[in-house]
Structure 1
């Protein structure tokens, strides 16, 4: 069973689908492990390494201290499969075993909240610290985690989320139809503004900077923001529709604050940050001072996730950023140019819409991107069972045979048909923009 399928099954067995389950005083994390050691002994090594223990007994580790501070094994589900070769290098085998058996297991560990308090940086050190380096394991992946409500009280979570984003973008029911400024880099401020004007006139809901476009000397942030917002504000004055533009303000803390304040001053309605670049502390601070929705980009995600037996599941990873304040989070897209299977994409998107706490859901709007076009609408909706999403199509809009306006119309018509339960081919008979979009992306 693929890791994302295994994860969904494990979550359903333990907690019930879609429920916000948390212990008020303990942190829980689920893992997939691969080992030739006895799985329980390996899990005990994990628990010791990430709490009060170390590789040899130390005098201060008394029974009383262990009872207060040690991690616990809450669940252990050993798989039937035997793994012929180690999935990752550098693992060890138990001494004295001529032919060790390598197995996988799912493990749940828990820690007392008192060990670290409600701190996201220290949470990551606890649930994803030295574990990945332990020689007992030829595979270890963090699948999910559940946090005490103290985390909800300590962190802002999304300030705008779905409702605030829809209000600012003026889109009530359909997904937000969006795109990315392309080419990714190379345009100056005025060229960026000119393309923005074309897209606004095409009827777009949402535009974002590419994550590679920041504050270079050829396209300084301040000049780009002023040029783009002149176009957006003029369009809003004429039509009443203010296009949401996510300006990439990724940088150091003082730079991000300056760029945020400028976008607010200019009347902008969205900012963007690259999560792996600004880090947890940067995102937490941005979430605390931001007066606009935060469009969170996950570039770099592959190095955390591409191995099925190493790193993070998106289900666990996205919870950190939702608490920190992300209003939108990228989840890849169906049939995309990247390596991620469609089932994993849908699992990730559904996780963004799953409440984290009963009293503070921290719902974040999933963003589908990478090779998206009209043809993915039915599959996306069937998997997500919601229209609360942003779809960003580059070629799916800009490369439409009849131009960007028809590209926007075709993508919007695909979603109109999908939500009405009408096959795209049937709807396309009376909607030429959709018909040509489907033809252009038939391969």
Structure 2
């Protein structure tokens, strides 16, 4: 029988073996009292199994409030499994099973989902990304190295005309990729439809003159009908990407957008912090991203090295590597492209390249481009040259000696 496996970091004030069985029961056939209808045959067929339980350590205080009081709390590694028959190859029901009510149990004073192993039935049931790395490279014409990208800034408050002026400067400066901020969707000052038409006039005119079509990820986040209609407008205007905020639209929202879409879906993870910032609660990125990639994310944000947020570098690199790994080992699926962002400049290029071993990524810099003392075009060129140095293994300062835009950037990339 095919099974789903999930790994957790668990802390409990109860006997760890008993707590593990309570979690397994709560997330499958059991409840808080023994029932005659949960026969041994039913439990054997449909119950979750405790596959592994490893004691890691102990403490005298709980990580989270609200659990059962105890003199000692035990930290463990726990692995549970469920028969695929319980959920079928259904992402929403998978989420309810591996990340549902178990977080609220009194026996739990800390719980974090750290790993997920899925049967190939999920890859067979879900199409995954339509474009991914290869499709994105084809649409942008960027055959090697990262896509050099940026975000329209300020995030919110610009008019359509002001947005267009920024886009005009960026495409003239040689940018590969531009995205809306996650806060900019369909506000009264910069309505979606008007913004798309005006921005795409600039992008299309530039493409006709130069042969280079810049990819713009328009934030179409909304209800299902809005997202479909907005996607169709971007497509009709010659656009090559749409963006959606995952935690806002949910798994079904992304799944339905993927079913409708004829363009790459740039998946933003806004809200990720509330799922992960406490190390004793929530999700690791590796299992979380598996669900969204199956649902159809072509690009996924992974933060960036030395970022402006609280996430440490090792976590960012682990996230990026997980996006580049198969969702189900040994089963082919279109590869999702990781997106590095948040306080990025060319100073992170060499370390990023060394850590993930490839340049199949989008590297977005806002202030790192717009803040260049010689202007936006020089900012784009400087970031691109920083990546040339990284890939060729040339020290950044040495490479900058031959590239004035990069040399000038080093004065403000601090």
Please give the TM-score of this superposition, normalised by the length of structure 1.
Answer: 0.92
Task: State the partner residue of 1:112.
Answer: 83
Inter-partner Cα distance in structure 2 for 1:280 and 1:379: 33
Task: State the partner residue of 2:267.
Answer: 296
Inter-partner Cα distance in structure 1 for 2:339 and 2:186: 24
Write out per-residue CA displacement over residues 263-308 of structure 1, whole angstroms, 9 at most, x where no aligned residue.
Answer: 1111100000000111111110001111000000000110111000
Task: State the partner residue of 1:46.
Answer: 23
Write out per-residue CA displacement over residues 330-378 of structure 1, whole angstroms, 9 at most, x where no aligned residue.
Answer: 0111111100000000000000000113233342111000000010001
Task: State the partner residue of 1:242.
Answer: 213
Alignment of 1:249-288 (within 5 A): 249-288=220-259
Match of 1:316 among 265, 278, 287: 287
Match of 1:86 among 32, 47, 62: 62
Counterparts in 2 of 1:397 and 1:278: CA distance versus 1, 3 Å? same
Displaced runs of 4+ in structure 1, greater than 3 A? none
Match of 1:365 among 328, 333, 337: 337
Inter-partner Cα distance in structure 2 for 1:264 and 1:190: 21
Q: Does 1:437 align with 2:409?
A: yes
Indicate if the aligned counterparts of 2:131 and 2:334 stay in contact, CA closer than 8 A: no
Indicate if the aligned counterparts of 2:8 and 2:111 stay in contact, CA closer than 8 A: yes
Q: Secondary structure of the equivalent of 2:51?
A: strand
Task: State the partner residue of 1:132.
Answer: 103
Match of 1:392 among 339, 356, 364: 364
Inter-partner Cα distance in structure 1 for 2:23 and 2:100: 10
Task: State the partner residue of 2:48.
Answer: 71
Alignment coverage as a number of residue pairs: 413
Deviation at 1:160, TM superposition (A): 0.3
Deviation at 1:152, TM superposition (A): 0.7
Please give the TM-score of this superposition, normalised by the length of structure 2.
Answer: 0.98
Alignment of 1:333-352 (within 5 A): 333-352=304-323
Inter-partner Cα distance in structure 2 for 1:353 and 1:272: 20
Inter-partner Cα distance in structure 1 for 2:34 and 2:128: 40
Deviation at 1:36, TM superposition (A): 2.2
Runs of 5+ unmatched residues, structure 2: none
Indicate if the aligned counterparts of 1:323 and 1:362 stay in contact, CA closer than 8 A: no
Deviation at 1:193, TM superposition (A): 1.2
Indicate if the aligned counterparts of 2:61 and 2:72 stay in contact, CA closer than 8 A: no
Indicate if the aligned counterparts of 1:354 and 1:361 stay in contact, CA closer than 8 A: no
CA RMSD, Structure 1 to Structure 2 (Å): 1.0
Task: State the partner residue of 1:30.
Answer: 7
Indicate if the aligned counterparts of 1:322 and 1:362 stay in contact, CA closer than 8 A: no
Deviation at 1:101, TM superposition (A): 2.5
Match of 1:422 among 360, 373, 394: 394
Inter-partner Cα distance in structure 2 for 1:277 and 1:359: 29
Inter-partner Cα distance in structure 1 for 2:335 and 2:26: 33
Task: State the partner residue of 1:229.
Answer: 200
Alignment of 1:58-207 (within 5 A): 58-79=35-56, 81-93=57-69, 100-207=71-178
Inter-partner Cα distance in structure 1 for 2:69 and 2:194: 59
Inter-partner Cα distance in structure 2 for 1:219 and 1:439: 34
Q: Secondary structure of the equivalent of 2:153?
A: coil
Deviation at 1:420, TM superposition (A): 0.3
Indicate if the aligned counterparts of 1:330 and 1:367 stay in contact, CA closer than 8 A: yes
Task: State the partner residue of 2:34.
Answer: 57
Task: State the partner residue of 1:326.
Answer: 297
